[in-house]
Amino acid sequence: MKPANIELLMGHSIGISDSYNRPTEKELLEDYLKAVSLLTINQHKVDRVRYGNLFLFHLFILQSILYKRI
């Protein structure tokens, strides 16, 4: 994941880069989903993220973070 995207998803400010780095919700989601398998301990959870309800849950988390940021 891009370091700036990690900071944004954690709710941190990235300083002056906040003005220049404005990834879309889709870009943040795609970047986050690249790391899910590395962040998840149980393979069953990875499969659920790819194909099931956790995907929607993660999308909800990203949306809530983005709306909170605005």
**For 41-53, what is each residue's pLDDT tens digit?**
776 666 666 676 6
pLDDT at residue number 48: 60
Start-to-end Cα distance in the chain: 22
SS (H, E, C) 20-64: HCCCCHHHHHHHHHHHHHHHCCCHHHHHHHHHCHHHHHHHHHHHH
**For 14-64, what is each residue's pLDDT tens digit?**
887 777 878 888 898 888 888 887 776 776 666 666 676 667 777 778 888
Total domains in the fold of the chain: 1
Full domain range(s) for residue 16:
3-69
pLDDT at residue number 6: 84
pLDDT greater than 80 at residue 70: no
pTM value is: 0.53
